[in-house]
A and B are shown apart, each in its own frame.
Chain A
Amino acid sequence: MHKLRMNLARLYMGLFLVFMIAPLAVMSGAAFNDNRLPSIVPWKGWTSRWFEAMINDDRMMVAFGNTLVVAVAVAVLAVIVGTASAILINSISGRVRTLLYSMMISTILIPGVVIGISTMILWTKMGNAMGTEFFLFNPGLHLSVLGQVSYIAAMVMLLVLARLQSFDAGLEEAALDLGASHAQVLRRILLPYLYPAIGAGGAVAFFQSIENYNVTQFTRGGMDTLTVYVFSMVRSGVTPAINALAFLLIMVTLVLALIYEINRRRLARVEAEREAEARRATALEEAI
């Protein structure tokens, strides 16, 4: 009976993985099918022409470039704002903390359409009120960046805060006591400790930005990002060039994930070795 249940559980696990992975496989497969419509059936033979089509699609390349610029800007801003917020939240307490923390968290739950429209209205209205044509107050990707940062910063904040909670504030005091300035404490002690979380936060922010549609859709002005462009292609005349792009993106994701995992295991091994050495040293000490 127990055995049967175990096998059922494994089967379910397998089916779930198929459910998660198969759509990506189908989409990737369609990139190699010599068929004008993106599908794997009917299979009309291998081709690489969709990759060529992708590279020759100027609009897609521009959109790709825009996406990267936006994603980098969002990642940088969200990391700065999110890290500062995490440090602030971590060192205050009481009602102010609860209020600020709830406000930060709630940004994740605000629907993207609301963020998009409200950002757009605020900045263009400010521009109108001041009667300025300065680019900041016109629709455009910079507004997309601001809108995206408004909720992605909260994700970075959560990641950094989690790491901060295991940080020993005594290290900062020790550094101050040894004569370090406040900036040196931040640069040499606190930030190095937070780097893993900041790195993870940056990665999350980058990918969240690439994936964003709702905010971008309302703020972008006439500019394209990859998501917007792919969306418009799906609505009107799609070609497997999108699949070629999707395939490449999936591969990049896969490679990055693998590098991350290998690195993680290497670090875990190094740390285990160090701890073993510390144990040996302790044993030696006790023998004295």
Chain B
Amino acid sequence: MNDLIRRYGVTITALMCLLVAFWLVMLVVVPNITLFEQSFRPYLPVVDVGGPKDFYSLRNYAKVFDGSIERSFFGIPYMIPVHVMTFGLTIWYSIVVTVACFALAYPLAFFMAKIANPKSLPTLLLLLFIPLWVSEVLRAFAWWIILAFKGPLNALLLAIGAIDEPVRWIVGYDGVVIGLTYAYVLFMLFPIYNAISSLDTNQIEAADDLGAPWWKIHLRVVLPYAKPGIASGCVMVFMLSAGSLLVPSILGSTTSQWFTQTIDQWFKDALDWNTASAYAFILLLLCTVFVSIALKVFNVKLSDIAK
């Protein structure tokens, strides 16, 4: 702090502190505390707010367990509350998306960092950046066109004779997984690429020279080295997927429901902001837990994530 004042003077330092305080306090901490506080209150008409009916309870959270439906697991039927199931499926398919993104991005990241001609790299990166700059709603919309029952993908597959009749692509969570993977794969690619490009190529050559097979080189040399990048990519993709509202809404089918959509319905359709807050808080909690676990598993710090 003294260093700051010495370099920028009292006025500018105070101004900078004020800006940071405004951001972290007014835009981050206080809103989240408010959300937390609100989530324990019942949803009431304005006149009753602060009245005798306005007391703290866990009722909003308990709504997660309302309305069970029957499902079966390997033929064994069981009852599960709808929202709990939505929540579970959201996490499950977010993990699927994360794994898919990693599987797609890792080989490419390695190729770009270690094999591709360095001269063509800027062009390559530029090409990859363009989809990133195009808005998410348009990218989801593009897949909505492609995956349509009478859309170009079916037309192409029919034309080359890969299928005999059109396939319905948007069933269950398929469309959502495809859309999310497309939307977020680059968030996996770039951190891994950055991590691998700082790896000394000599290490790979040394391992190769010692007779290690290619898969072992990756397992023992490249993957451990790229760990912070992989952790960062996985956390980003998982969080973005679990928190996405656009893609599940556009590419979802009649049988798919994302947890964010449930929150949205409480907020916009039921106009029950307090229950929406409770659900949003559950999502936030899940995200915190997931990030903490991922950081522990990968043994990296939060400050290493965003690079």
Interface residues of A (CB under 8 A from B): 5-6, 9, 12-13, 16-17, 19-24, 26-27, 30, 38-41, 80-81, 84-85, 87-88, 91-92, 98, 100-115, 117-122, 125, 128, 146-147, 149-150, 153-154, 158, 169, 172-173, 176, 181-183, 185-186, 207, 210-211, 213-214, 217-218, 226-227, 230-231, 234-235, 242, 246, 249-250, 253-254, 257, 261, 264
Q: Tell me the complex Cα distance, A41–B246, Å.
A: 25
Scoring B residues 114 to 149 as 1 if CB is less than 8 Å from chain A, else 0, what string do you get?
011000001010111111011111111111111010
Contact check, B284 vs A217: say whether CB atoms are below 8 A apart. Answer: no
Contact check, A111 vs B287: say whether CB atoms are below 8 A apart. Answer: yes
Contact check, A121 vs B273: say whether CB atoms are below 8 A apart. Answer: yes
Interface residues of B (CB under 8 A from A): 1, 3-4, 7-9, 11-12, 15-17, 19-20, 22-24, 27-32, 34-35, 38, 46, 49, 104, 107-108, 111-112, 115-116, 122, 124, 126-131, 133-146, 148, 150-152, 155, 182, 185-186, 214, 235-236, 239, 242-246, 249-250, 260, 263-264, 267, 273, 276-277, 280-281, 283-284, 287, 291, 302-303, 305-307
Contacts of B104 in A (CB 8 A): 16
- B186 to chain A: closest residue by CB: A20
Q: Tell me the complex Cα distance, A125–B31, Å.
A: 10
Contact check, B135 vs A249: say whether CB atoms are below 8 A apart. Answer: yes
Contacts of A121 in B (CB 8 A): 31, 34-35, 38, 273, 277
Choose from A106, A114, A218, A242 the contact partner of B302 (Cβ within 8 Å): A106
Give the dominant DSSP class at B's interface.
helix
Contacts of A21 in B (CB 8 A): 127, 130-131
Contact check, A26 vs B142: say whether CB atoms are below 8 A apart. Answer: yes
Q: A118-B31, A154-B306, A185-B8 are in contact. Are A234 and B141 (CB under 8 A)?
A: yes
Q: A13-B111, A84-B20, A261-B122 are in contact. Are A182 and B129 (CB under 8 A)?
A: no
Contacts of A182 in B (CB 8 A): 7-9, 11-12
Contact check, A105 vs B302: say whether CB atoms are below 8 A apart. Answer: yes
Contact check, B142 vs A23: say whether CB atoms are below 8 A apart. Answer: yes
- A115 to chain B: closest residue by CB: B31
Q: Tell me the complex Cα distance, A207–B112, Å.
A: 25
Q: Tell me the complex Cα distance, A97–B175, Å.
A: 43
Q: Tell me the complex Cα distance, A249–B130, Å.
A: 11
Contact check, A111 vs B107: say whether CB atoms are below 8 A apart. Answer: no
Q: Tell me the complex Cα distance, A28–B257, Å.
A: 29
Contacts of A231 in B (CB 8 A): 137, 246, 249-250
Contact check, B142 vs A24: say whether CB atoms are below 8 A apart. Answer: yes
Residue in B3, B31, B128, B245 with the greatest tally of chain A CB atoms within 10 Å: B31
Q: A91-B3, A113-B260 are in contact. Are A98 and B303 (CB under 8 A)?
A: yes
Q: A26-B142, A249-B138, A257-B130 are in contact. Are A12 and B108 (CB under 8 A)?
A: yes
Q: Tell me the complex Cα distance, A242–B135, Å.
A: 13
Contact check, A125 vs B34: say whether CB atoms are below 8 A apart. Answer: yes
Contact check, B126 vs A213: say whether CB atoms are below 8 A apart. Answer: no
Q: List 7 A-B contacts (CB under 8 A).
A: A24-B134, A118-B34, A121-B277, A153-B23, A185-B8, A235-B249, A249-B135
Contacts of A5 in B (CB 8 A): 214
| Chain A: minimal CB distance from B66 (Å) | 20
- A98 to chain B: closest residue by CB: B303
Contacts of B3 in A (CB 8 A): 91-92
Contacts of B12 in A (CB 8 A): 182-183, 186
Contact check, A213 vs B182: say whether CB atoms are below 8 A apart. Answer: no
Q: Tell me the complex Cα distance, A102–B264, Å.
A: 28
Contacts of A103 in B (CB 8 A): 24, 28-29
Q: Tell me the complex Cα distance, A176–B7, Å.
A: 8
Contacts of B131 in A (CB 8 A): 20-21, 23-24
Contacts of B260 in A (CB 8 A): 111, 113, 214
Contact check, B4 vs A39: say whether CB atoms are below 8 A apart. Answer: no
Contact check, A91 vs B273: say whether CB atoms are below 8 A apart. Answer: no
Contact check, A117 vs B267: say whether CB atoms are below 8 A apart. Answer: yes
Contact check, A169 vs B7: say whether CB atoms are below 8 A apart. Answer: yes
Choose from B4, B23, B122, B150 the contact partner of A149 (Cβ within 8 Å): B23
Q: A118-B32, A211-B136, A214-B245 are in contact. Are A109 and B146 (CB under 8 A)?
A: no
- A228 to chain B: closest residue by CB: B137
Q: Tell me the complex Cα distance, A110–B236, Å.
A: 10
A39-B148, A257-B126 provided; 7 other pairs, C-beta below 8 A?
A: A26-B146, A91-B4, A118-B31, A182-B8, A217-B264, A234-B144, A246-B134
10 closest residue pairs by CB, A with B: A111-B243, A182-B9, A23-B142, A118-B31, A150-B27, A118-B35, A211-B135, A27-B142, A84-B16, A84-B19
- A124 to chain B: closest residue by CB: B273
Contacts of A84 in B (CB 8 A): 15-16, 19-20
| Chain A: minimal CB distance from B13 (Å) | 8
Contacts of A17 in B (CB 8 A): 127-128
Contact check, A114 vs B283: say whether CB atoms are below 8 A apart. Answer: yes
Q: A12-B108, A118-B280, A246-B138 are in contact. Are A38 and B8 (CB under 8 A)?
A: no
Contacts of B246 in A (CB 8 A): 213-214, 227, 231
Q: Tell me the complex Cα distance, A185–B273, Å.
A: 48
